[in-house]
Amino acid sequence: MMKSNNKSNGLNPANLIFSILPLIIAVVLQYVVILGDILILFIYNIFSDERSVGTQTPGQILTEQYNQPMNLAFMTLVKFLMFFVIFGIWYYKVFCKYKVTDETFTIRGYAKFALEPTFTSLTPIFMIIAGVAGQFMVDGILALLRPAFPNAFQDYDSMVQDVTGAASSWVLLLAVMVVAPLGEEFLFRGLTQRYAKRSLGITLAVIFQAILFGVYHGNIIQGGYAFVLGAVLGYLAYSFGSITPGILLHMFLNISLFFVPDALFETTARCVITSIVSALIFVASILFAVKLHKKKQ
């Protein structure tokens, strides 16, 4: 897809509504997964535990310690698979299908036009480097901020523990490392940003989707750096005219979460050095990738 210019088509309420609608649907899908999980648990207990039928109410069954939501890993995977399928097909139908001469829908055609691999052979390397450096940068900055905002880090630490504490689960690894970046890039950079650009222009559209990306993450710590990274991913989507480089960066950012060594953040000096070096590598990798892409064009 050709990279579009910075101009908008004028304020259009329909485009603004459609730019927010994917996030609303994403929130609804999360609750659908939770409710589905509770329903499965309820049915399971009714038929598998004879004592529950005779002595406990449905409410009591659901509040038993062993009846917490099924497995975080499977719930996360199901949620992001739904994101990937629904938002991926939506993105393809609205923004890519008009380029296809053969009207027959195929998996190959979907992948080709929805992901649009139009970049140079070095772009994936730069995105991998940027993704790893980005995670080191974020962890270093958060380590420096943690002593000043201990209360704000409680929800964030709980979220990280839920993810990294189940790192042995291949299901969760698949969800966080692969499926989540695909689903979120289709949602925010594929749909939200492109719809918003029609009314707001590219600069405001990038900022707008980055704000929604931050809010979507649900806590002030993760939301803060998600906003910054969302803006970077939006810039990449615009610069390349494709969401694929952002998907690669996003994947390796998430992958690195499981492998960042704690030793790099044991002292303030190490945190500062790690943050600065990682930030320089992160920015340089992105700028070099964009520059090479522009030369190719």
Question: What confidence tens digit (pLDDT) does each residue in 40-85 have?
Answer: 777 777 776 544 444 555 555 555 543 444 467 788 899 999 999 9
Residue 76: partners with Cβ closer than 8 Å, 6 or more residues away: 171, 172, 175, 176, 180
Which of 104-118, 221-235, 275-289 has the least mean pLDDT? 104-118
Q: At residue 61, what is the residue type?
A: I
Q: pLDDT category, 225, cuts 50, 70, 90?
A: very high
- Distance of alpha carbon 59 from alpha carbon 257, whole angstroms: 37
CA distance 100 to 254: 32
Distance, in Å, from the CA atom of 216 to the CA atom of 222, rounded to the nearest integer, reads 10
pLDDT-derived band at 246, boundaries 50, 70, 90: very high
Q: What integer pLDDT is reported at residue 25 of this predicted model?
A: 97
Please tell me the pTM assigned to this model: 0.84
Structure tokens at 268: 């303030």
Separation CA 245–CA 122 (nearest Å): 11
CB 185 within 8 A of CB 210: no
How many whole angstroms separate alpha carbon 117 and alpha carbon 245? Answer: 8
Q: Which of 128, 23, 19, 33 is nearest to 71 (CA)?
A: 33
Terminal CA-CA length for the chain: 12
Specify the pLDDT at position 52.
Answer: 47
